[in-house]
Amino acid sequence: MKEKSRNYGIDLLRIIAMLCVVILHAMNSGGLLFYTIKDSSQYKFAWLIEIIAFCAVDVFAIISGYVMWNKKTNYKKLINLWFQVVFYSLIITFVTSFIYPNSVYKSDYIKSVFPVINKTYWYFTAYFGLFIIKPFIDKGIQDINEKTLKKIFIIILVIFSLFGIITKGFELNNGYSIIWLIILYITGAIINKCNIGSKLKNIHILLGIIILITITYLFKIFGFDTINTIKKSFDIVINKDTLINYVSPTIFGIAILLIIGLSRLEINNKSKKIIEFASSSTFAIYLLNSHRFVDEIYMKKRFTYLIDDSIFTIFITIIGYAIIFVILAILIDKIRIYLFKKLKIDNFSNWIYLKINILINKISTKL
């Protein structure tokens, strides 16, 4: 029964999304986006890779809504995720203290233990807030009829995505916010419940993705710098980078089409085992690749030596690095899973949850 209910196409997309996250950090922190000569073939190719991979965060968040909207909220899982974040953050901080001792302070260890308070990982901070209110969102999705949900889906696309890229009125912070994560979660839930895109053929999905990537790319390479006349009257900013944004309708659209397309993908049994093995460790890929020290120290300008190389060399190097990183991160996480089992972290998470639940119940009875 479990085999039938699991969507391995979505699991595969989750892995691909994390691969893209690694690519994004390599392009940004690695320096290729900002140190290649403007308008050179290397510059144009670097931005093409960036744009293709940019939907990764939207994809990952939409998947959360797609697979979790009709499942009971398990707060013990959230506590367990907290321990995973602390585990990797402490290890990265500890290792960095030996390699670059002048870059690590005592406060960094405290930040590692309290990741949400100190925003050690912005996505986890936003996800933590989302998870707290998940039962309310899920209840709404379950109770609202499909016709109304489809209307909400259209409103999200037009209002929050289209308006969100040209105005700061909704405080979406370019997608780096709990508000945008909630919107993505709701989007994923609606796609699943209402079977959005079921009438689309695979060729239409593929063409849609190619068109949206092309629009984003051409706007970046050949677009204008800014619209000052509009900005004087309204709080609106439009420039070459407008569509390269988590809130962007083109990036958002690519993510939605990928969800629809991969959700119907048929996977053979051998591939299912590999996907299941890897997908359970996708969060570890993010944690290992997105830590501040990895971003600011280990990855800083790491790939600038490629700025004069051929686009083929750039492609092979970046993709090769991303694949190796993902494989190593998955293997490392299997060790972490083994250690957590030995240390009975799952039981400890359950104990913490029970204590917190007892405390909340006592407080709620007095309200």
Query: Beta partners for 236?
Result: 167
Nearest CA to 278 out of 328, 322, 319 is that of 328
Question: For 303-320, what is each residue's pLDDT tens digit?
Answer: 999 999 999 999 999 999
| Contacts of residue 312, Cβ cutoff 8 Å, sequence gap at least 6 | none
pLDDT at 226: 59
Q: Which tokens in the block code for residue 174? A: 């370019």
pLDDT at 3: 41
**Angle (CA) 66 7 273, round 5°:** 140
pLDDT at 229: 44
Whole-angstrom distance, CA of residue 136 vs CA of residue 133: 6
Query: Under DSSP, is residue 167 helix (H, G, I), strand (E, B) or coil?
Result: strand
Query: Beta partners for 269?
Result: none
Question: pLDDT means per 10 residues in the chain (367 residues)?
Answer: 68 95 93 90 94 95 93 89 94 92 88 83 90 93 93 88 72 84 95 92 95 94 64 63 89 95 90 91 93 90 91 95 96 94 90 89 82
Residue type, 302: R
Neighbours of 266 (CB within 10 A): 7
Whole-angstrom distance, CA of residue 102 vs CA of residue 100: 6
pLDDT at 236: 64
pLDDT at 148: 93
Neighbours of 263 (CB within 10 A): 20
Residue 186 contacts residue 65 (beta carbons within 8 Å): yes
Nearest CA to 163 out of 224, 232, 233, 248 is that of 248
Q: How many CA atoms lie within 13 A of 242 on its CB side?
A: 23
